[in-house]
Structure formats: structure tokens, C-alpha cells
Amino acid sequence: MAVLAHAEAGEIAARLRAISLPGHQDLREPENGLVMLRGRVGGDGAPFNLGEATVSRAAVRLASGEIGFGYTLGRDGQKARLIALCDALVQSPEFGAAVERDVIAPLREQLMIRRKQSAEETAATKVDFYTMVRGEG
């Protein structure tokens, strides 16, 4: 589900169009709020409160009873609802495989391509040290 949190609402919606969706309803309307983000002293010590982030959340129930929860950074309620819908669909024996194949897998692939590009750009700025040779050789 981490893949969905990294995608845009429009991308998720576009992928979901490949699936003929079952009946579903909002169990919880999308709601915006805050989550306090925590760090650790020294990176690995006791937790402390760093600052908050906006978060949107929603819950969706399929006609067949599966309940999905959607959480995402930001204030895009539509995205939270789509994540909740995917979360519910993934649990459904009927739709689980299709959501993985048609929604999550392609978005994961996109995410990996973006990350690879970024990692390669970063790698090009890695310092290669060399030692100056002194003397007449």
C-alpha cells in the first residue's frame, strides 16, 4: 500500500478504470487532519516531536463487506478515498489479484523508475578521492 501513498490521485483513478468496480460506499468521508511526525534523538535514540504534517484519511466498504482504510500525507481527500477503496479491494478474493496486477504493480514500477533516476543522478555527485603522487616518480 506504500506504493499508493506515493502516487497521485489521478494516477490511481486512471489505473482503477481498468477494473469494473463492485458496489462500495464511504464508511468514513475523507477527512483532513494532522499527524505529529517524530524523530529520534541522535537518529536512533528516544523519540521527540519534530513537527506536524497534513494527512488525509478515508474508509470505504465494499458491498461484499470488506473494509478498506486510506491514509496519505497531504490534503487530497480523493486520494485517501481511492487508497481506501484499493485497500478494500485487495482484501476481496474476487478483486485482490486484479488490483495488484492493474493498479499497484504498474504504479510500483513507475515509482521504481523515478527512484532509480533520482538515485543515478545522486550517484553522479559521489566524490572519487585520489591521492596526489609526490616526488619525481
Q: Which of 23, 47, 93, 137 binds other proteins (CB under 8 A)?
A: 47
Could you tell me where the beta strands, DSSP code E, fall in 14-81? 24-40, 47-62, 67-73
Shortest Å, Cβ 2 to other proteins = 4
Q: Does 132 bind other proteins (CB under 8 A)?
A: no
Distance in Å, CB of 14 to other proteins, minimum: 19
Torsion of CA 72, 77, 82, 85, to 10 degrees: 90
The least distance separating other proteins from the CB of residue 130, rounded to whole angstroms, comes to 11
69 closest CA partner among 54, 47, 91: 91
Among 63, 123, 132, 133, binds other proteins (CB under 8 A): 123
Q: Are 60 and 68 in contact (CB under 8 A)?
A: yes
Least Å from the CB of residue 136 to other proteins: 26
Residue 54 is placed in which grid cell?
497534513
State yes or no: residue 58 binds other proteins (CB under 8 A): no
In order of 11, 28, 32, 43, 80, the CA distances from 73 in angstroms are 16, 17, 10, 22, 9
Does residue number 110 form part of the binding site for other proteins (CB under 8 A)? no
**Residue 18 or 29 with smaller CB distance to other proteins:** 29
Point out which residues bind other proteins (CB under 8 A). Answer: 1-2, 5-6, 31-55, 57, 59, 69, 71-75, 115-127, 129
